[in-house]
Amino acid sequence: MEDEEESLSSNPINGGTQSESLDRARQKKHVAMLERLASRHQTRLENSLKSAETDSSSSSTLGFESTSSFLSRFADSRRSIEAQIAQCRLTNPSESTQLKPQLDSISASISDLEKLVAENSYFLPSYEVRSSLKAISDLKQGLESLSSDLVPKKKFSFKNKAPKKEREKDPSIETNREKEKEAEIGKPEKMSFRVLESPGFRDKKGEVLVRRFSGSEIGEFTISDLDSCEVRLMGCVRALFVHRLRNCRIYGGPVMGSILIEQVEGCVFVMASHQIRIHHAKATDFYLRVRSRPIIEDSSGVRFAPYCLSYEGIHGDLQEASVGEETGNWANVDDFRWLRAVQSPNWSILPESERIGLINISNSDNEAEEI
């Protein structure tokens, strides 16, 4: 009996065969499980790629997907404009009078490039926005230099002056001429570049200008060459361009993209947008709600405070433009002409005691009401 038990315990054939068959079964199950997991992963990966392709194709119709794609197009446009300027410089001086259409075309291309930056600046890093604006400024200077070199200047001539006896009889003649000179000196300097040909308000004085936008009716809107006017904009636009304003009040609903302001003095702006860039502004107050830091350049005496506008439906417009929440960025201003670590002397926070109250522009027939 002991010999049989010893023989069975020392003979591994039956136990070994059973153990090996169990191992093989486990291996098969393990391999099958790995195959199923791999198949599921592949399916998910394919679905993700299809979804990404769909998102890519749909987003490409709306605008640039990345900084690199924007920079590529910007660089191509910049090289094209530089080539046109270089080609014009090769023109024979005797044919310079025929260059005006070409110069106008280059000016239009620079304006289009500036618009491209405005439309896409909401997702660009601050450094890229700054570099792009510097490149556009260089192109403008290049065109101005080309124009002054090639286009003939008007010959200087003396204006006819009233006879002395006539001036003695009517002193108002001399007084009126002095006033005309002062008015010319006080006007903002005209830029040599065309204002974008978009819907807008232009060349007005002492008027109240009202516009209501509905849906995606307007992509871009321009306000230019106004003096002592009040502008009320209700609804959303994609981009807003402001040029050459004096002593104006601009009350604006939200802008889905960027606002570009150039050459303004003695004005008040109440605006909301993804980004705002301000050039050559003097003694002007800005009441802002903005998703990124406001940018100023070549400006002085500008002050900032939070957005304070009201009209019927404004809360829905703010949500639609993705500026429904106050970020506090109105107080975080970047001065591109001030590179020191200390506070720029060109801008400041508007003291609460000097701020206007909530402005209601719902009733377009009456003056804007301060609540």
The rounded mean pLDDT for the chain is: 76
Domains assigned to the chain: 68-150 (1.20.58.1250), 200-360 (2.160.20.70)
Contact 235, 254 (CB under 8 A): no
Contact 140, 193 (CB under 8 A): yes
How many beta carbons lie within 10 A of that of residue 33, not counting itself?
10
Tokens of 185: 């000196």
325 Cβ neighbours under 8 A, 6+ residues apart: none
Across the range 358-369, mean pLDDT stands at: 75
Higher pLDDT, 55 or 369: 369
Separation CA 351–CA 303 (nearest Å): 9
Q: Please give the angle made by the CA atoms of 206, 208 and 213, to the nearest 5 degrees.
A: 145
CA distance to 108, 111, 249, 328, per residue, from 198 (Å): 13, 12, 21, 31
Contact 73, 116 (CB under 8 A): yes
257 burial level (CB within 10 Å; 0-12, 13-18, 19+): buried
Helix (H, G, I), strand (E, B) or coil at 48: helix
The pTM for the full model equals: 0.56
Query: Over 70: is that where the pLDDT of 141 sits?
Result: yes
For residue 249, give the nearest of 226, 272, 268 by alpha carbon: 268
Counting every residue written for the chain, the total comes to 371
Tokens of 184: 């010319």
Contact 276, 252 (CB under 8 A): no
| Percent over 70 (pLDDT), the chain | 64
For residue range 195-252, list pLDDT tens digits in order: 456 789 999 999 999 999 876 556 789 999 999 999 999 999 988 999 999 999 999 9
Q: Strand (E) positions, 175-218?
A: 200-205, 208-212
Tokens of 260: 């570009």
- List phi, psi (to 5°) of 84: -65, -40
Query: Over 70: is that where the pLDDT of 284 sits?
Result: yes
Higher pLDDT, 142 or 185: 142
How many beta carbons lie within 10 A of that of residue 172, not counting itself?
9
